[in-house]
Amino acid sequence: MIGLGDGPASVVLAGRMFTVRDRDDAFTDYCLRRCSTLALMWQEGDHQAEPALLDAEIRSVRTELDEVTARRRGALDRYDVVSLVLMVVGLVVFASAAVASYASGQNGRGQVFAVLTLLAVPLVLVAAWRSVGRYLVLSRRVGRIRQREAQLATRLETLGGTVTLPAAPTVPNVTPAAPTAVDPAAADPAPTAVTPPAVTPPAGAPTAVTPTPVVSGGTRPSTTDAIGMLEAALPAYAVRGELGQGGCGMVFLAEHRQAGWLRALKLLTEMELVPDSQSRFLREAQVMESLDHPHVARVYEYVEHDGFNLIVMEYLSGGSAAARLAELLGRPEPICAIGLAVADALAAAHARGVVHRDIKPGNLLFAEDGAVKVTDFGIAKLLAGADGEPASVLALTPGYAAPEQLNADEITARTDLYGLAATLYRLFTGQTPPLPGVDGAPRTRMSAIPPGIAAVLERSLNGFPSNRHDSATSFALDLAAAAGTALRPGWLDAAGIPFRGAPPIRVAASS
């Protein structure tokens, strides 16, 4: 969607607004020309896809609503509330004792309790902000998101469309901790399929204008129909429930009827997004199966049945990094351990010519023992083109997509390094990084990150790919060395995230 007015031009992609500001005249003119072109197309009647676009935006708003609601639940932790209550009680006791002491003429004792009261006040205020204050702020944000959802739904109904209701959660018949599958919808916004703009940006402008969304013309099967399709294709498995929906598929938890092992089944539902998608899906499944790496989710089988395609994948029960954001937020040891594991996994993939294109917290899942694994290899590449074919559609997630993805420029291994740096920045700060400036320099706030680690992230958050690390291995070695300097000895083993990557990375982390 395009916003034009007296102020800065703005574009909305997957429910998130990017505003054209703090740019030079040439880049601003480029953005305004692009926005004007799309607005003219709208005025001339080229908006038959508006209901589908509105439905996609509603789903994105609901994803954001789920994320903020989860953060609100975590803000009002019962232990924080109990601590706040005890601190308030202590403050009242100190204040009462001071008043009683002064009233009885015991001025020395009264001064002591008065000082204790003054010292307790800031502690109580901090505790109140950490619990009640954050809860109220997030509640207000939830209200604004719901209002936006209602406005979009009203607009869609006015155009004669049907609002897609959220699917009721299905509880699996197993009890693993926080069951999560490949790219669950509640973790991060699903990859958005977009068409590259036809306008050529001026030289030296790494930042992007949002491409025009392209929405699939088909509809996904209902959960009940999808389960029937899966059990017909894989009679040896009993489907226990839906785990989530990604950019081009639905993911289900299944149990082998005889062996009892659990698997994640991903059903391809958006085959019409690109030509020859079935053969591409097969090629990518074959590549994923060949990626035998301890930090890459395994693919066990590829199946075609009655015109639909699915892959049988490793089931990871430990949840995603997005779902565990509150637990990981601002903790350098586990965050750096995740960064090293993911970088080593990317190095193995890049060595086989595979670029992920959609690194984000929702695609980093944890095994039962706490090891992190990268998922959705190849699915993003399915949308972007494979084996050197020209790309007409690309998959990206706003906030983690590199500028060259938004500009529809060449995608390289360094694109994944931007996504990884953006993901680690999110885990450190709770926010996604803003787009780089015109000169390519990151516009991030790194004050909460140890300086050496911040320098590593800033390098790969640069808007120009040539200024980033030249490989995932280089990124990993730099991050390991920076963490080894900034953190305590033995930090990698104490992080709680098992690292099973290349030995040189472990050596660098211990130096």
Residues marked active site are found at 358
Cα separation, 472 vs 413, whole angstroms: 8
Within 8 A by CB and 6+ apart from 198, the residues are none
Cα distance between residue 315 and residue 337, in whole Å: 21
User: Within 413-469, where are the H helices?
Assistant: 413-429, 451-460
Yes or no: say if 42 and 49 are a contact pair by the CB < 8 Å rule.
no
Q: How far apart are CA 436 and CA 438, in angstroms?
A: 7
Q: Taken in order 424, 428, 433, 439, is the CA torsion positive or negative?
A: negative
Task: Output the CA–CA distances (angstroms, integers) from residue 62 to 15, 194, 354, in the order listed.
Answer: 10, 20, 31
Q: What are phi and psi of 180, to 5 degrees?
A: -140, 145
Q: Is the dihedral of CA 345, 350, 352, 358 positive or negative?
A: positive
The H or E element that residue 261 is part of is none
Q: Which of 269, 62, 248 is nearest to 166 (CA)?
A: 62
Q: Tell me the C-alpha distance between 95 and 411, whole Å.
A: 64
DSSP code string of 264-315: EEEEE--GGGSTTHHHHHHHHHHHHHH---TTB--EEEEEEETTEEEEEEE-
